[in-house]
Amino acid sequence: MMQLALFATPAPPARPILVAGLTAQDADCLEFIDKFFGSGFADSAYRRRRDGSVIVCVSGRCGADGKFLKIAGGKCDLELICNGKKYLAAAYTDAGKGQLDKIPGGNEVPADLPGKLQKESDALPTDDIEMIHAASELLLTNKVPDEFWQKVSDRCIACTSCNLVCPSCTCFDMFDREAADGGVERWRLWDSCQLDGFMREASGHNPMGKQQLRTRRRIHHRLAADVAKWGHITCYLCGRCDEVCPSGIGIKAVCRDMVQQYGSS
């Protein structure tokens, strides 16, 4: 006799989620993730947590060693912009204004961005942006040979750190587990395209069975496939994969090598 599983639908959070400390690049990533989970079939599990949430970015002279972090602007609800001595609060949405009202003395903090800080943000170097667009063009025009990906994949140890820290990663698996009330709960588990079993089919066939193919996919996905699907590159140069990769093959490092080797051809 067939037993039917009853899937519980998790309730929305009792209180809205507040996420603080995002950078401008993170805000760009979140904008894409909203589009990814909201296009076509809207993902209800994502929307239950995302709707009503409050996003707080930090920017200005608060990076490592005083590095200036790009100003996010209207891509968040509330932004804390450091001028080197204190943080200025800028609210862009009603949710952000509601949080600003809760800050002691918040009404006295300038809500408009000081022009000097905005100019400093606009003047930040664009070398990495130009490089990644050049790499994207090389991939879109098929100018990167298989030998390049073989050399890069030979250095990959499949630790999956690049996927774990990427704020625009959308790879996940699904699994079911027994709920406390005797029903079944469906859970989402983030997965990695760098693992051998990620795309293995029930037949045993694996279209991404070689590390070379998986390594290529990690970069090609962001810089070429997503350009065709979404109309833009989906790597926002947060730099986290380059920081955590023990083999030195984060996306910026790979793109730099790619452009140096094939950019003039």
If DSSP states are collapsed to H, E and C, what string results for 227-256?
HHHHCCCCCCCCCHHHHHCCCCCCHHHHHH
Q: How far apart (Å, rounded) are the C-alpha atoms in residues 78 and 70?
A: 14
Residue type, 37: F
pLDDT tens-digit series, residues 165-203: 999 988 888 788 888 888 888 788 888 889 888 888 889
- What's the confidence (pLDDT) of residue 264? 75
* CB atoms inside a 10 Å sphere around CB 38: 13
Residue 68, φ and ψ in degrees, nearest 5: -80, 125
- What's the confidence (pLDDT) of residue 115? 79
Q: How far apart (Å, rounded) are the C-alpha atoms in residues 83 and 92?
A: 19
Residue 91, φ and ψ in degrees, nearest 5: -100, 130
- What's the confidence (pLDDT) of residue 65? 87
Question: And the tokens for 194?
Answer: 């760098």
**Nearest CA to 62 among 103, 113, 23?**
23
Domain ranges within the chain, ordered by starting residue: 18-122, 127-262
Q: Distance of CA 3 to CAs 6, 126, 182, 186, Å? A: 10, 58, 13, 16
Contact between 241 and 162 (Cβ < 8 Å): yes
- What's the confidence (pLDDT) of residue 112? 54
The residue ranges of the chain whose pLDDT is under 70 are 1-13, 105-114, 265
- What's the confidence (pLDDT) of residue 113? 62
- What's the confidence (pLDDT) of residue 200? 87
**Which residues fall within 8 angstroms of residue 29, CB to CB, at 6 or more apart?**
167, 168, 236, 238
